[in-house]
Amino acid sequence: MHDIRFTAEDVLGAQLALAEENYRLLKEQGVHAISVMGAIGSGKTSLIERIIDRAKPCGIVVATIAADSAGDDDHRRFLARGAHSVNLNTEDECHLDAHRISHTLESLPLHEIDVLFVENVGNLICPADFPLGTDVEMIVISVTEGDDMVRKHPKIFAQTDLIVINKIDLASAVGVDPQTLVRDYAKVNPHGRAILTDARHNRGIDELLRALGIECTNTQW
């Protein structure tokens, strides 16, 4: 019997290679892919819904990969908005990985899609070590989670392109200053961008669209 051992570097290297393959495939098909991470209840699904609503009248075709440990609630919400969607249950896994995304992409009509949202499992720890091969990595947090979210999870925030601070309409009620989160993010990620939103009332959605590189025109990617 052979004693085969894999190091953390081996696993990470394999993930990076698979993520690069996903990236190349999506680029070849003209798909602008966005990874969406965040805790359960932060508003990831609601924000994607608002973007679908804005994009659809402009002729932009949106697809989603809706991941969760179980159930298909988010998937059905995206379908109801007219998006292509694949439901992906990870069961005991607390994150998506490039291998799983690679297989999931096979079930999407990539040649028809302009923008793909990959909604990760609700978690701010596990996804940090698993790149998926998207153009943009976005984290959604809610003011209801407290003003220490960035300080508690610096690793994942340090490597993402964009932070969306959602539910700002509730900031006063929960005693949280969104600017504290903005400042904390700037400390760990000086190259990232912070957007303040209230998905329920459609505040900040246009700014978010611009930050994601989604323009409401009829031109293709």
Question: Is the residue at 3 inside a domain?
Answer: no
Q: What is the pLDDT of residue 218?
A: 47
The CA distances from residue 203 to 34, 104, 182, 192, in Å, are: 20, 32, 17, 20
Contact 18, 169 (CB under 8 A): no
The CA distances from residue 200 to 116, 144, 205, 212, in Å, are: 22, 14, 10, 19
Can you give the CATH number for the domain in which 151 is found? 3.40.50.300
- Whether the model pTM is above 0.85: yes
Q: How many domains does the chain have?
A: 1
Question: Is the residue at 219 inside a domain?
Answer: no
Q: What is the pLDDT of residue 144?
A: 97
Q: What is the pLDDT of residue 219?
A: 43
Question: Is the residue at 220 inside a domain?
Answer: no
Question: Is the residue at 139 inside a domain?
Answer: yes
Question: Is the residue at 62 inside a domain?
Answer: yes
Give every residue of the chain whose pLDDT is below 50, as ranges.
1-4, 6, 218-221
Question: Is the residue at 1 inside a domain?
Answer: no
Question: Is the residue at 120 inside a domain?
Answer: yes
Starting at the edge strand that comes first in sequence, how are the strands of the sheet with 193-196 ordered?
A: 84-89, 62-68, 115-119, 32-38, 136-142, 162-166, 193-196
DSSP class of residue 58 equals: G
Domain residues for the domain of 50 are: 8-211
Q: Which residue has the tokens 């990870």?
A: 90
Question: Is the residue at 50 inside a domain?
Answer: yes
d(CA 171, CA 173): 6
Q: What is the pLDDT of residue 10?
A: 59
Q: What is the pLDDT of residue 199?
A: 97
